């Protein structure tokens, strides 16, 4: 059994004081922003209900971070969706004050809850830096002030990435809900009281359990324990976190192979729900045993156990087989350039949407000589 080592658990934390006291970063391997409108509305309405009924606090679950020695930020392993969405609420409050020419209160939200300012350069530093896919867009669309040229450009750009569309939709919906909530009062003092109640509640009432561990591998174990619902929670994320947690000193190598696997599958251009998990299941069925999706996590976990070599080997094999699998998904894939008319058969199979045969095809083409 892997050791968790040193763990610091803060049961008195709120998202507000986490933002005020820490700079946070989402690791490159974490998924992008993923909350849809229903999640955003549930979150906002839960906060609104707690504030309306003057509840002293509302519990938002656990947040898992790693704190490396000598680094000025913590990395968020679990909790980025809640933190990012809370920042959208704060940004909407800030925008309201700024549009009302109340610069003093707008700045009280800006710093320290949305950004710091680099002392030497004067450059804004977001309190939460998202992964590489979302970093710039989240900062420009949410964190920076509504009159900044970056915000205006973000609102005008054509969005192609799904996570950017979700960020824009979430920020827009939250701004609408804030305006709607403030509109419930007909007096300036009433509006001011509503804004103040929201700001104070986020600072002091959004209670979380903050779990700080010393490195990534131990954080993944904690993440898995807190989210121990097999593949029901987040199938691909949980599989990835399990492999990383078992990879020991080779964690970065395993991460690079996981990212390479994702890149190959994304390059296929195939739009298919749960494609990553489908591929892993088909690979596992082709190389180990026929496995149903609901049993996949348990089967891999039972095989790997705490074996670092097995964890690395699986990540490596998944990376190597991802490109041939991507070729199965597309008759126009360059993989088929060396195989004569084989692409015609692939085109026929895809026309009839025959997924069941993919494990067999994967087992064949990874052993098939060129020009056969």
- The answer to whether residues 207 and 238 belong to one domain is no
Specify if 227 maps to a domain.
no
Whole-number pLDDT of residue 350: 85
Task: Tell me how many degrees the CA angle 178-182-187 measures, rounded to the nearest 5.
Answer: 165
- The answer to whether residues 194 and 96 belong to one domain is yes
Specify if 1 maps to a domain.
no
Specify if 177 maps to a domain.
yes
Whole-number pLDDT of residue 252: 84
- The answer to whether residues 101 and 23 belong to one domain is yes
- The answer to whether residues 164 and 43 belong to one domain is yes
Whole-number pLDDT of residue 231: 39
Q: What percent of the chain has pLDDT over 70?
A: 92
- The answer to whether residues 273 and 197 belong to one domain is no
Distance CA(159)–CA(165), nearest Å, equals: 6
- The answer to whether residues 243 and 197 belong to one domain is no
Specify if 228 maps to a domain.
no
- The answer to whether residues 45 and 160 belong to one domain is yes
Q: Which domain holds residue 330?
A: 233-365
Whole-number pLDDT of residue 74: 92
Distance CA(75)–CA(43), nearest Å, equals: 23
Last-in-domain residue among 178, 213, 248: 213
The DSSP secondary structure of 293-332, one letter per residue, reads HHHHHHHHHHHHTT-HHHHHHHHHHHHHHHHHHHHHH-TT
- The answer to whether residues 39 and 106 belong to one domain is yes
- The answer to whether residues 17 and 54 belong to one domain is yes
Specify if 112 maps to a domain.
yes
pLDDT tens for each residue of the chain, 372 residues long: 344 557 788 888 999 999 999 999 998 767 789 999 999 999 999 999 999 888 888 898 889 898 877 777 899 988 999 999 999 999 999 999 999 999 999 999 999 999 998 888 888 899 999 998 899 999 999 999 999 999 999 999 999 999 999 999 999 999 999 999 998 888 888 999 999 999 999 999 999 999 888 766 666 666 666 554 443 445 777 788 788 878 888 888 998 899 899 899 988 888 777 899 999 999 999 999 999 888 898 899 889 988 999 999 999 999 999 999 999 999 999 999 988 888 999 999 888 888 889 999 999 998 888 664
Count of Cβ atoms closer than 10 Å to residue 126 Cβ = 20
Specify if 226 maps to a domain.
no
Give φ, ψ of 20 to 5 degrees. -70, -35
Instruction: For residue range 7-45, list pLDDT tens digits in order.
Output: 788 888 999 999 999 999 998 767 789 999 999 999 999
Specify if 219 maps to a domain.
no
Whole-number pLDDT of residue 2: 41
Identify the burial level of 331 via C-beta atoms within 10 angstroms of its C-beta, where 0-12 means exposed, 13-18 middle and 19 or more buried. middle
Structural domain count of the chain: 2
Specify if 133 maps to a domain.
yes
- The answer to whether residues 16 and 160 belong to one domain is yes
Whole-number pLDDT of residue 186: 82
- The answer to whether residues 183 and 56 belong to one domain is yes
Instruction: Identify whether the C-beta of residue 283 lies closer than 8 Å to the C-beta of residue 317.
Output: yes
Q: Tokens representing 38?
A: 């229903």
């Amino acid at each position: 059994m892997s050791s968790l080592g040193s763990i610091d658990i803060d049961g008195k934390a709120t998202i507000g004081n986490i933002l005020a006291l820490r700079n946070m970063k989402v690791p490159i391997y974490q998924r992008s922003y993923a909350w849809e409108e229903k999640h955003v509305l549930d979150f906002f309405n839960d906060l609104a209900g707690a504030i309306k009924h003057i509840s002293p606090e509302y519990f938002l679950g656990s947040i898992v971070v790693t704190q490396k020695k000598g680094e000025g930020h913590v990395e968020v392993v679990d909790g980025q969706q809640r933190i990012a969405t809370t920042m959208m609420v704060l940004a909407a409050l800030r925008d309201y004050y700024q549009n009302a020419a109340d610069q003093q209160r707008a700045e009280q939200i800006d710093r320290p809850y949305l950004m710091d300012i680099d002392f030497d350069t004067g450059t804004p530093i977001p309190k939460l830096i998202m992964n590489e896919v979302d970093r710039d867009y989240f900062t420009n669309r949410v964190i920076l002030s509504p009159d900044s040229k970056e915000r205006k450009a973000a609102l005008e750009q054509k969005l192609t990435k799904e996570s950017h569309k979700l960020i824009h939709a979430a920020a827009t919906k939250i701004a609408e809900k804030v305006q709607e909530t403030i509109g419930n009062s007909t007096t300036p003092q009433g509006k001011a009281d509503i804004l103040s109640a929201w700001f104070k509640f986020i600072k002091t009432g959004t209670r979380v359990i903050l779990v700080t561990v010393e490195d990534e591998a131990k954080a993944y174990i904690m993440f898995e324990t807190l989210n121990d619902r097999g593949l029901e929670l987040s199938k691909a994320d949980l599989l990835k976190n399990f492999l990383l947690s078992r990879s020991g000193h080779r964690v970065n190598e395993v991460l690079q192979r996981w990212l390479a696997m994702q890149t190959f599958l994304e390059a296929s251009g195939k739009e298919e729900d749960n494609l990553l998990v489908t591929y892993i299941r088909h690979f596992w069925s082709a190389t180990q045993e026929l496995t149903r999706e609901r049993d996949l996590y348990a089967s891999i976990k039972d095989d790997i156990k705490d074996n670092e070599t097995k964890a690395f080997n699986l990540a490596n094999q998944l990376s190597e087989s991802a490109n041939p699998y991507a070729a199965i998904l597309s008759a126009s894939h360059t993989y088929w350039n060396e195989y004569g008319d084989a692409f015609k058969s692939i085109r026929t199979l895809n026309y009839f949407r025959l997924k069941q045969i993919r494990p067999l095809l994967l087992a064949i083409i990874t052993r098939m000589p060129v020009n056969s």
